[in-house]
């Protein structure tokens, strides 16, 4: 997996592309070549200052289970209950926005479902095995199988997660 992080500067316009892709998209095939390419580490961060620090823990933080390569199979794949796993990275801006929502879901549905978080930066061996193409990715596991997944972060994220949980629960 390649981590792409560049600033393309040309003609006084700065365009940034930050993401995590297996194959980088060819977004710039018809654009003139940039006059200057800077690679990470960058002097000026691409993530706004408000998102750079770790989010403050919420009252629901205690309901999240920290998952690693070592415990993933035993904790998630051998679980009989519905398991929501948030695949994230600490440097990912959208992941930081999704984190408090995931924590709130963990608190709200505590006892009904299990909610875990998996840092792909520290535990990278499962990235290819579980076909993680982008982050944040939330996968729903039931009886060791992926029954649903949500890739990315967007409007009404909390509502979408709750609807998917209710939909999976209704299929018992």
Do 128 and 69 meet the contact criterion of CB atoms below 8 Å apart?
no
Answer yes or no: 95 catalytic.
Answer: yes
Length in residues, the chain: 172
Determine the Cα–Cα distance for residues 125 and 47; give it in Å rounded to an integer: 26
Determine the Cα–Cα distance for residues 14 and 42; give it in Å rounded to an integer: 14
Which residue in the list 76, 92, 115, 132 is annotated as catalytic? Answer: 92
Which residue in the list 8, 84, 95, 150 is annotated as catalytic? Answer: 95
CB atoms inside a 10 Å sphere around CB 136: 26
Answer yes or no: 20 catalytic.
Answer: no
Do 120 and 114 meet the contact criterion of CB atoms below 8 Å apart?
no
What phi and psi, each to the nearest 5 degrees, are found at residue 61?
-55, -30
DSSP lists the bridge partners of residue 85 as 116, 139
> What residue has token string 């009904």?
112
DSSP lists the bridge partners of residue 116 as 65, 85
Residue positions annotated with a catalytic role: 92, 95
């Amino acid at each position: 997996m390649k981590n792409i992080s560049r600033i393309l500067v040309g003609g006084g316009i700065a365009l940034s592309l930050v993401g995590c892709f297996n194959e980088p998209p060819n977004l710039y095939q018809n654009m003139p070549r940039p006059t200057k390419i800077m690679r990470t580490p960058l002097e000026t961060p691409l993530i706004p200052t408000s998102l750079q620090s770790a989010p403050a823990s919420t009252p629901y933080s205690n309901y999240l289970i920290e998952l690693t390569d070592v415990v993933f199979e035993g904790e998630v794949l051998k679980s009989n209950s519905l398991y929501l796993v948030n695949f994230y990275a600490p440097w990912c801006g959208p992941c930081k926005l999704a984190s408090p929502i995931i924590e709130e879901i963990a608190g709200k549905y505590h006892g009904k479902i299990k909610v875990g978080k998996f840092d792909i930066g520290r535990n990278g061996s499962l990235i290819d095995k579980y076909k993680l193409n982008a982050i944040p990715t939330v996968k729903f596991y039931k009886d060791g199988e992926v029954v649903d997944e949500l890739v990315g972060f967007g409007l009404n994220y909390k509502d979408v997660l709750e609807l998917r949980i209710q939909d999976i629960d209704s299929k018992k």
